[in-house]
Amino acid sequence: MRRILLLTLPITAVALALTACSTTAGELPRSSATATAAPSAAASPAPTATCNPKGAERSFAPLNPMPAPGTVPSDPFMQKIKSRGRLIAGVSADTWKLGARNPLNGQIEGFDIDMVRAVAQAIFNERNPQDLDKRIEFRVITAAQRIPSLQNGAVDIVARAMTVNCGRWQQINFSTVYYVAGQKVLVASDPTDPTKVTGMDDLSGKKVCAPKGTTTLDQMKREYPKVVPVVVDLHTDCLALFQEGRVEAITGDDTILAGFAAQDPYAKVVGARFSSEPYGLGIAQKNVKFTQFVNGVLAQIRSDGAWQASYDHWLRPALGPSTPPAAQYGRPLP
């Protein structure tokens, strides 16, 4: 019988996320700012689009020249952010190492969060970390709320392990790719469990959990139709079901599963990657200048070592060494 391990950090993070309390953060790679709950929204269906999947990774060229730190172009949307005095970001509060609330200090922190902080720093040029904290408002959203939250203007930007693909480009804009993850599967590692699972091929007829509104779920349904999908709102809902023995496995990006395995000594990530999941920052489709601005920020942190420092802190211990993915430009301006 599989041992049941009670949730600690994930449940705490989710509970705190639901309270949407204010948080304060320090220097990178710590988190920042205020968190509030985003309005509920259903996922918008992705329209059918004809495009080369690799071409989906091309974004708009950065602004040239980029504005000086603390200034923004004469674009109405960016002027609105500047006048408001804060950047509103849709993030996760329960995805350990990417975007999760630290139960010890209440801060949302992780690799995705550092991408938001870099954008806010470029807009407001706050040298004091405590002052930068006041310039970011986090709105905790589910995976299914990512696109609707941009379309309805609830957030300015989304940093939530969001895969760039053709269908989503028909609904929103993406920055250049800031990380390339891959889909794997997490299963029990308890030596008393006679089940030997080495990958998704061994899970036919078994219950496998994935959040709704994700490419993870779409890929599992498409590539492994004999698997029984269990659909939930949050990644940590999957972990709870897994630890209660109600699903046999969790499928998701290796970044997310690595965080689960680090929290659960009776879990392991198995198999080879069976997808490529290039992450981009989501931006509303009409905000092209802002997309170009964000691409300029990402180019800067690739070159000045800030990307590398963030990756080494949050992800390298679980996933090994990596370098920033090369930016791909060439998407025509509308």
- If asked whether residues 217 and 71 sit together in one domain, one would say no
- If asked whether residues 133 and 173 sit together in one domain, one would say yes
In a domain, 91, yes or no: yes
In a domain, 45, yes or no: no
In a domain, 146, yes or no: yes
In a domain, 48, yes or no: no
- Domain hosting 303: range is 9-40+58-180+277-319
Cα dist from 260 to 96, 129, 143, 190, 230, whole Å: 7, 29, 17, 15, 17
In a domain, 328, yes or no: no
- If asked whether residues 84 and 69 sit together in one domain, one would say yes
- If asked whether residues 74 and 148 sit together in one domain, one would say yes
Q: Is 326 exposed, middle or buried (0-12, 13-18, 19+ CB in 10 A)?
A: exposed
Question: Which pLDDT belongs to residue 50?
Answer: 55
In a domain, 325, yes or no: no
Q: What is the 3-state secondary structure (H, E, C) of 117-133?
A: HHHHHHHHCCCCHHHHH
- If asked whether residues 86 and 215 sit together in one domain, one would say no
- If asked whether residues 200 and 284 sit together in one domain, one would say no
- If asked whether residues 13 and 89 sit together in one domain, one would say yes
Consecutive sets of 10 residues in the chain, 334 residues long: mean pLDDT of each? Answer: 40 34 39 50 43 85 96 96 98 92 91 97 92 94 96 98 95 98 89 75 95 91 95 92 96 90 86 90 98 98 98 89 96 94
CATH number of the domain residue 239 falls in? 3.40.190.10
- If asked whether residues 102 and 15 sit together in one domain, one would say yes
In a domain, 261, yes or no: yes
In a domain, 50, yes or no: no
Look at residues 253, 270, 287 and tell me which one is the last residue of a structural domain.
270
- If asked whether residues 210 and 135 sit together in one domain, one would say no
Question: Which pLDDT belongs to residue 30?
Answer: 45
Domain count, the chain: 2
Look at residues 270, 297, 327 and tell me which one is the last residue of a structural domain.
270
- If asked whether residues 189 and 306 sit together in one domain, one would say no
Question: Which pLDDT belongs to residue 190?
Answer: 67
Here the contacts of 64-70 (C-beta below 8 Å, separation 24 or greater) are 66/293, 66/296, 66/300, 67/293, 69/121, 69/122, 69/125, 70/123, 70/124, 70/125
- If asked whether residues 231 and 212 sit together in one domain, one would say yes
- If asked whether residues 174 and 200 sit together in one domain, one would say no
